[in-house]
Amino acid sequence: MPGGIMIIWSGWGILVLVFAVIGLFIGMPIGTAIAADENTAMAISIISAGLVMGLGSFLFARQMEKGTGRVFIDEQTGQRVVVGRSAGSLFFVPVRYWAYVGPVLAIVFAALLLMSPPTSVAEPAVVSTGAASAAPI
């Protein structure tokens, strides 16, 4: 994809992004209700997205990966090999690890946002000379 972001996932790994979007939708009204500053409100939204993403990833991976799995016996060595179910991965990181990576990344992004100067759009100053200027007709 020229000029775009390529999202790589396997299995149910795309749900990590779904959990993050749900967290943003939950966090945006909370952030605007708590903080008057736009940067602080957005930081609260990002942290809530990370927490929801982490909790959702943890619970989903725990549910998907529970159980004993299938047991195979290697014919050459006679060893038992247990193959369990996987919840998938996002950007080559298994879903169960996004439960920890997501909140940490959200806190880092929120801290970077709070360290940046406030974003306020200043209106251009209008200089008044006191006398009305009339254009010649």
Report domain extents, the chain.
9-115
Q: What is the mean pLDDT of residues 90-112?
A: 93
Give CA angle at 8 (89, 72), nearest 5°: 40
- What's the full length of the chain, in residues? 137
**For the segment 28-51, what is each residue's pLDDT rounded down to a tens digit?**
999 999 988 888 999 999 999 999
Q: What is the residue type of 33?
A: A
Phi-psi region of 127 (alpha: psi -120 to 50; beta: other; left: phi over 0): beta
Split at pLDDT 50, 70, 90, the class of 109 is very high
Residues 6+ apart with CB under 8 A from 67: 84, 85
Mean confidence (pLDDT) of the chain = 84
Q: Which helix (H) or strand (E) holds 103?
A: helix 95-115
What backbone torsions phi and psi does residue 80 show, to the nearest 5 degrees? Answer: -85, 135
> Which pair of tokens denotes residue 119?
């974003």
